[in-house]
Amino acid sequence: MRRPPKDTADSARQVSRRALLLGVAQFGLVGALGFRMQSMQVEQADEFRLLAEENRINIRLLPPARGLIFDVNGVPLAVNEQNYRIVMVREDAGDVQEVLDRLTRLVAIPPETIERAIEEMNRRSPFVPVTIVDRVAWDDIAKVTVNAPALPGIIAEVGLSRHYPMGSDTAHVIGYVGPVSDYDLSRIDDQDPLLQIPRFQIGKTGVENKMERTLRGVAGSRRIEVNALGRVMRELDRQEGVSGADIQLTIDSRLQSYVEARLEGESAAAVVIDTFTGDLKAVASAPTFDPNLFVRGISVAAWNGLNEDIYRPLSAKSVQGTYPPGSTFKMVTALAALEAEVLTPDETIYCSGWTEVSGTRFHCWKGSGHGNINLHESLKQSCDCYYYEVAQRVGIDAISAMAQKLGIGVRHDVPMSAVAQGLAPDREWKRSVRGQDWRIGDTVNASIGQGDVLASPLQLAIMTARLATGRNIEPRLIHTIDGIEQPITGGESLGLNENYLRRLRQSMFDVSNHQRGTAYRSRITLDEARMAGKTGTSQVRRITPEERARGVTSNEDLPWERRDHALWVNFAPFEMPRYAVSVIVEHGGGGSAAAAPIGRDITLQALYDGPPPLEAYPADVRARIADQQVRIQNRVAAGGTANTRA
């Protein structure tokens, strides 16, 4: 049935209105889009072009070559070696586990290494290369290269790795490097983006750690084009980084190796310092370890073996260890009393074998006593009672002040790990630290380097150098940085009475050159090289009245850890001191028997810049010394090896 004309006309008018409205809406939308497109293409074109470029171009860091470390004669102590490594880019690999399984069928990689690499990849962006394994043999690299199509995401490349040619001989001085850990990042305030590179190595201990920023250098960069997924398409340009600065130490590697060899078989430490400049020529601790183990990745078994060793091979005893200095401290007490004018060099004090203070007996090492004794004889024979009396006159505050003036109780600025401050206690220290008043018995104990007094071998060497010269000798370990010599600090007069110093030096000379001196058996017989020194024996246990009554147990009959420490300090030549030396042998017994012979041998090696003539030794020991020199020369020629205690 046909619609009426009127209805048809109404429908047409409605359609026309709707079409008009729809057309207007469409025109408005197109206009808005056109306006927006014009704005983006014309007015905001530069902004969006920059954003697109940033999305397309990535900048990746290039680690710089680490600075090298040399001894004072230019002998390399820390170098960089090329090594092959295998890295993986997780984003390119697809199924990471499957690719790693294929890799391990080609190259023998420990499971724990694979697990560590997977953990590292999960923590990093998918396009960041992560080292799977380094120090890979060329044959393995060839296998990876040939099978590259079956190993997506795997890349074989060449990198640099740290190596220590002297091995264990310089381990405690140089330290070692290792990968940056979360712990490292949490404790250092360093925003260098290099630290975010997986497995990037930084100094962990020793000079490597303390001079990290100097040795690290400045990163380079390369601009690479990547696709939307972050995959590298091509390298656009490269800017090489700036290598770290080379550092030359004051250490003489030949002397350092000799000292380590001479300490072999002991738990001990020794320091040699130049009395002219303060240069540290040898800083040795035994037993020691091979730092290359840490660079390559030390095994759990090897780490536990080092960490649990009771002789502490990881500890730099020369600067970290603090010990009661024993009788090597007596020069401090004597000089404090002389400067305070409560004692004269020729005054005698009676030693009966013991001194009673506040109802307590303090014994001399010589039970029968020394009788009337003056300053010279008290040092030569190491009388204790003399210093008990002297200390009560001068008081602990003056003794403490003199100790600090001579370098004890002071943290010296040496770029090694955990350099100890030691302790020169006084009244205020005990009050603030222990909440107790100082007692006269504390002063008596401190007078002979016992009680709360603590010193490191480094501090004892500095003390000896200052006594030998009367000058403020400051230790220096860094000789040059990139060829620029570092300043020698200190050297000014200590302001001490030179007459008193001469008397002390003469007394120390007779310690090792007079028949009644405690170190006479360890003397140097050539006039040109004669030394002045002082023995020390410090107790690590309390001797009870009951034990003293029945007879003090000898060190030989005690367990190793309960024996006395043996100490020795000296300077030489006597007339014009060139070197000061300190030695401690942990639980070695008496200083005259255990430490003085080592100090004598080290001193001669330093003075003659090599094996000294046998005529420098007493006739009765020359045959033994000749055998010792051959053994040590063979050991040094073989290179540094991990020092173990017999």
- Residue 400 is a catalytic residue: no
The pTM assigned to this predicted structure is 0.85
Integer Cα distance of 566 and 584 in angstroms: 6
Fold of the 253-637 domain: Beta-lactamase (3.40.710)
pLDDT of res. 640 = 54
Query: Residue 487: which pLDDT band, with cuts at 50, 70 and 90?
Result: very high
206 CB-contact burial (10 Å; exposed 0-12 / middle 13-18 / buried 19+): buried
Whether the predicted pLDDT of 45 surpasses 70 = no
313 CB-contact burial (10 Å; exposed 0-12 / middle 13-18 / buried 19+): buried
Whether the predicted pLDDT of 84 surpasses 60 = yes
Query: Residue 46: which pLDDT band, with cuts at 50, 70 and 90?
Result: low
Query: Residue 580: which pLDDT band, with cuts at 50, 70 and 90?
Result: very high
Beta strands 247-249 and 280-286, pairing class = unpaired
Of 257, 267, 285, 327, catalytic: 327
Q: How far is CA 69 from each of CA 77, 486, 510, rounded to the nearest angstrom?
A: 5, 15, 41
Q: How many CA atoms within 13 Å lie on the side-chain side of 477?
A: 22
Residues of the chain within CATH 3.90.1310.10 domain(s) are 59-249
pLDDT of res. 475 = 98
Residues of the chain within CATH 3.40.710.10 domain(s) are 253-637
Beta strands 247-249 and 69-70, pairing class = parallel
Which CATH architecture fits 59-249? Answer: Alpha-Beta Complex (3.90)
Residue type, 178: G
pLDDT of res. 256 = 97
Q: Which helix (H) or strand (E) holds 604?
A: helix 596-608
Contact 247, 77 (CB under 8 A): no
Which of 451, 350, 442, 430 shows the shortest CA–CA distance to 391? 442
**Residues ≥6 apart with Cβ < 8 Å to 14:** none
Q: What is the pLDDT of residues 138-167, one digit of tens each?
A: 888 888 888 888 898 888 878 788 999 999
Whether the predicted pLDDT of 44 surpasses 70 = no
Higher pLDDT, 21 or 238: 238
Q: What is the pLDDT of residues 239-250, one digit of tens each?
A: 888 999 999 999
**Residues ≥6 apart with Cβ < 8 Å to 272:** 255, 259, 280, 281, 282, 283, 461, 579, 580, 581, 602, 603, 606
- Which residues face 455 on adjacent strands? 323
Contact 104, 73 (CB under 8 A): no
pLDDT of res. 544 = 73
Contact 484, 558 (CB under 8 A): no
Contact 96, 118 (CB under 8 A): yes
Least confident of 46-55, 467-476, 605-614: 46-55
Integer Cα distance of 181 and 432 in angstroms: 37
Query: Residue 642: which pLDDT band, with cuts at 50, 70 and 90?
Result: very low
